[in-house]
Each structure stands twice: as structure tokens, then as C-alpha cells.
């Protein structure tokens, strides 16, 4: 069983991250993101009985931001790296999105340290989500050896907490080049 929690976040500034400029993200036409044009939310996913997850990947419940449905996608034993917990942000129903649909999102994904919140592990990124690139995140959010260590505080009483802080640009993004 999982427990979901949403919390509004006010006025986050959005920027295209340095790591995305010129490589993983398509060139954007006048990306002018203002805090008034962004919808923001903090989504908390509490996963009970973590050790009993048998599927290769596991999805959180759906939450809505920017008029679209989002969810967290987790690979409990890793996606690309078998030694790490992999966590991604996913736009649901990507196959039904209109051709050319694109939204820029600035977000962070965290595995919450339940013993000492200051030791929570958080990674930040930004991505232009499209019909063909509907998930984005981290293949290695935390090494499984650290995650499963009882003294570390990430898995307590077989409960894991993943948190997503997300700001989505409300306006459509126009992409140069091939439309996905």
C-alpha cells in the first residue's frame, strides 16, 4: 500500500539547467519562464512493505499539475545500474498526448531520510517532456547498499518515502526540428 500527499509550493523560479543546454534538450524558442507562468507542487509517496515489491518497476499514484497527470516511476533494483535505486518523473498517458505536445518541468526527486531529514538525498534537473520522452530522472538516486542499511534511515520498518518537487511551465513549448 502506498500513501500519497500533495503540497503546493509558491513561486519557484525555473531555469533550463546548464547540463541540459545544447545536448539532451532540444533548442527552445524564446523560453521565457516566469514564476507566474509555472504551476508548482510537492508530491510525497510513502511506500509500505518495500521489501515485498516484486515488479521491475513501480508507479506512484497519479497527481495533476499543469492540467496533465504525472507520477513517480521507481525501479527498486535499478534500471540501468543494478546497484542503485532508480527514480524518474513520468507524464501518464503519453501515447494519448497530441502530436507536438511539450512541457518544460524543473524538478527534484528525493529519497527521504526518516531518521535525520537533513541527510535526505535529493537530485535536481529540468527536462522538456514530450510524447516520446515522457519520463526523466535518475538511474542512480542512491546506492542500494546505502539504501538498505538499517542505520542510514532511508528504509525504516520496511517503509520508503520518495518526494518530488515539481514546477511545470503552463504554456506550451515550441521546439525547433523534429516533433516527437
State how many domains the chain has.
1
Q: Which comes out higher in pLDDT, residue 178 or 23? A: 178
CA distance 21 to 23: 6
The C-alpha cell that represents 174 in the structure block: 515550441
- For residue 68, tell me if it sits in a domain: yes
pLDDT tops 90 at residue 169: no
- Helix, strand or coil for residue 133? coil
pLDDT tens digits for range 77-118: 998 767 999 999 999 988 888 888 888 899 999 999 999 999
* Strand-pair partners of 70: 63, 91
Domain span at residue 164 reads: 38-169
- For residue 33, tell me if it sits in a domain: no
Torsion of CA 30, 36, 39, 43, to 10 degrees: 120
The pLDDT-based confidence of 29 (bands split at 50, 70, 90) is very low
Identify which of 160, 143, 127 has the alpha carbon closest to the alpha carbon of residue 53: 160
Q: Which comes out higher in pLDDT, residue 128 or 9? A: 128
Mean pLDDT of 2-28: 36
- For residue 2, tell me if it sits in a domain: no
- What's the pLDDT score for residue 3? 41
Cell numbers 538498505 correspond to what residue? Answer: 148
- What's the pLDDT score for residue 10? 34
| Residue 178 · residue 126 · CB < 8 Å | no
- For residue 58, tell me if it sits in a domain: yes
pLDDT tens digits for range 33-87: 444 566 888 999 999 999 999 999 999 999 988 778 999 999 999 987 679 999 9
Looking up residue 53, the CATH number of its domain turns out to be 2.60.210.10
Backbone angles phi, psi at 2, to 5 degrees: -120, 150
- For residue 30, tell me if it sits in a domain: no
Amino acid at each position: 500500500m502506498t500513501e500519497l500527499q500533495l503540497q503546493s509550493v509558491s513561486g519557484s523560479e525555473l531555469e533550463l539547467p546548464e547540463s541540459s543546454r545544447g545536448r539532451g534538450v532540444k533548442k527552445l524558442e524564446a523560453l521565457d519562464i516566469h514564476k507566474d507562468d509555472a504551476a508548482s507542487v510537492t508530491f510525497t509517496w510513502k511506500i509500505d512493505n518495500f521489501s515485498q515489491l516484486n515488479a521491475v518497476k513501480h508507479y506512484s499514484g497519479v497527481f495533476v499539475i499543469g492540467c496533465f497527470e504525472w507520477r513517480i516511476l521507481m525501479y527498486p533494483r535499478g534500471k540501468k545500474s543494478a546497484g542503485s535505486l532508480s527514480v524518474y518523473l513520468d507524464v501518464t498517458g503519453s501515447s494519448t498526448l497530441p502530436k507536438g505536445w511539450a512541457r518544460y518541468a524543473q524538478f527534484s526527486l528525493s529519497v527521504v531520510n526518516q531518521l535525520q531529514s537533513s541527510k535526505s538525498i535529493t537530485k535536481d534537473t529540468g527536462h522538456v517532456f514530450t510524447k516520446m520522452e515522457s519520463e526523466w530522472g535518475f538511474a542512480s538516486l542512491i546506492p542500494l547498499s546505502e539504501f538498505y542499511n538499517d542505520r542510514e534511515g532511508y528504509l525504516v520498518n520496511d517503509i520508503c518515502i520518495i518526494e518530488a518537487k515539481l514546477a511545470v511551465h503552463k504554456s506550451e513549448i515550441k521546439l525547433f526540428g523534429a516533433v516527437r
